[in-house]
Amino acid sequence: MSCRSRPQLPCLGKLLWGAVIRSARVTAAEADRCAVLSGRCCPFSNSAADQSENGAEISNFQPPADSHHDWVGPPDRFSNLRPIKFYSLKNESKLKQQLRKLRIDTQNWNQKFWTDQNITFNKEKEMFIHTRLKAKGIGLRDEEGRKNTLSAEEMAEFYKSFLDTNYKKHVNYNKEWYKRNFTITWLMGRAVLQSAWRKLRWRKEVRG
């Protein structure tokens, strides 16, 4: 849910929502926003765009030891998503650990979906262009070595066909994406309340 589309909430709800947005920084598909909010953009290796809890290959980059932020890398060359190194607290609560793991899992899920989708799209597009050019008796390149292309109208046929073929896949993706986003936002809200409650208890103990 974006800031524009957030529901009308009472004053306390608005304050909580603002705290959630500030503490959230980013979900897997909002890495560009994270780069702006946190001011931390790092030269990740594109050979490994995701971060995994189960030992899967990840970027070799490690944020400074004194960093207290999520760090964002450049767009992956296959998925076009920005990989994120999620900051982990030393004394992380179970709730915040659950949130961080879900964000990592969502990033990996997003990475795989868009990598597969983009590779499939590019392969099918090249095949479509090759088939159409061959039917016209035209080679892939002209006399000067430049790639021959199709008209916008012809390419529109391919785009429509690709979208129609993958319609159900995209619908299922959107359903899962909204489900994950809702859960992440819900956990963020709980984490903010948990932190606020602990601070209040600490202040009472200090004063008492």
Residue with tokens 């306390």: 12
Asked if residue 58 belongs to a domain, the reply is yes
| 140-194 residue pLDDT tens | 888 788 888 889 999 999 999 999 999 999 999 999 999 999 999 999 999 899 8
The verdict on residue 4 lying in a domain is no
pLDDT the model gives residue 62:
66
Asked whether the predicted pLDDT for residue 49 surpasses 50, the reply is no
What's the domain range around 47?
11-207
With CA atoms as reference, report the closest residue to 125 among 160, 155, 145.
Answer: 155
Terminal CA-CA length for the chain: 41
Inside any domain, residue 5: no
**Is position 81 within any domain?**
yes
DSSP code of 195?
A: H
> Mean pLDDT across the stretch 34-45?
40
Structural domain includes residue 2:
no
pLDDT band at 195 (very low <50, low <70, confident <90, very high): confident
Residue 174: what are its φ and ψ, rounded to 5°?
Answer: -60, -40
More confident residue, 33 or 110: 110
Question: What would the pLDDT profile of 95-111 be if each residue is shown by its tens digit?
Answer: 999 999 999 999 999 99
Predicted TM-score (pTM) of the model is 0.65
Number of domains in the chain: 1
Q: How many CB atoms lie within 10 A of CB 121?
A: 15
The C-alpha atoms of residue 104 and residue 60 are separated, in whole angstroms, by 16
The count of C-alpha atoms lying within 13 angstroms of the C-alpha of 176, restricted to the half-sphere facing its C-beta, is 13
**Which pLDDT value is given to residue 208?**
66
Asked, for residue 173, whether it belongs to a domain, the answer is: yes
Evaluate whether 61 touches 44 at the Cβ level (below 8 Å). Answer: yes
117 part of a folded domain? yes
Residue closest to 61 by CA, chosen among 43, 76, 49: 43
Tokens, residue 132? 């159409």
Position 6 in a domain = no
